[in-house]
A and B are shown apart, each in its own frame.
Chain A
């Protein structure tokens, strides 16, 4: 074998070596992306959610009756937090901010998003909220554990709305009827006050949606003592008893 042939061999071997390193690097980057999605986004979202809950309680204290900063659900602003969601079944410290809108900006950083065309707490109809089943704080990870008798609470500047579990179903992602004022009945006039949570199902896919309906069973005006089941958490979250 001549010198020239040997040198050409060296170039080819070198090129294959570089190609191999590039492919290995891409593989490592893809694995890191999975780590980012499943773990890193949760760390970031937890911190962002805690600070959003803190900010909205401060806004309620500061702004009295006429909130123009989006912290009052009757004057919602896309992307702004107007409420806090408590679901004891999801953990004794579960208090998540609710923001207006279901864009990925809201769901990825704040966690729980209110479908803009649905009702607000206290109105007849359906308060519909979306959240991630996994990643970005995975606020609705335990949706499948909700059962009869479970409660959900929405706190706004006006008080705490108590909702009681009614049903759970799994639907196709296209089935937007579940967030109608009367679910799946576009022409009916609402008589009840419902709360609907939507999230991904099965976990780690977007093939279906898990839907849970609650019905409002009581309301505690701001200033009255919070429902006993969440009294400690409300005190810790807002610094007040109600």
Chain B
């Protein structure tokens, strides 16, 4: 998979390495800025309040941090 991707990139070896690093950086930024913030709303590890919260009624952690 990654080997095929690397072969598909154009240019000499040094250029392909630079392209690969840019692709990795892009993927990480996409995860950090969009994917993880979205996924976090389903995370059970972020509660710091006491009392009942709707989102937690579904689990036995009915109170938040």
Contact = CB atoms under 8 A, between A and B. Distances in A.
A155 interface: no
A179 B65 contact: no
A193 interface: no
Interface string A119-150: 00000000000111101100010000000000
A173 B45 contact: no
Chain A interface mostly: mixed
B58 to A, nearest CB: 14
Point out which of B40, B43, B46, B48 has the most chain A C-beta atoms below 10 A from its C-beta.
B48
Interface in B1-54: 1-2, 28, 31-32, 36, 39-41, 43-52
Interface in A101-115: 102, 104, 107-108, 113, 115
Contact of B63 (A17, A132, A172): A172
Interface in A144-174: 171-174
A21 B63 contact: no
Contacts of A173: 47, 50, 61-65
A215 B45 CA distance: 30
Chain B interface mostly: loop
B61 A206 contact: yes
A135 B52 CA distance: 22
A55 to B, nearest CB: 22
Contacts of B1: 17-18, 21-22
A77 B14 CA distance: 55
B50 A206 contact: no
A21 B1 CA distance: 7
A114 to B, nearest CB: 11
A178 B46 contact: no
B64 A132 contact: no
Point out which of A32, A136, A178, A211 has the most chain B C-beta atoms below 10 A from its C-beta.
A32
B50 A171 contact: yes
B5 to A, nearest CB: 10
Interface of B: 1-2, 28, 31-32, 36, 39-41, 43-52, 61-65
6 contacts: A36-B36, A37-B45, A132-B46, A135-B46, A175-B63, A199-B48
Given A102-B64, A206-B46, 17 more contacts: A18-B1, A32-B32, A33-B31, A40-B32, A102-B49, A107-B46, A130-B65, A131-B48, A133-B65, A173-B61, A173-B64, A176-B52, A176-B63, A199-B65, A205-B45, A206-B64, A209-B50
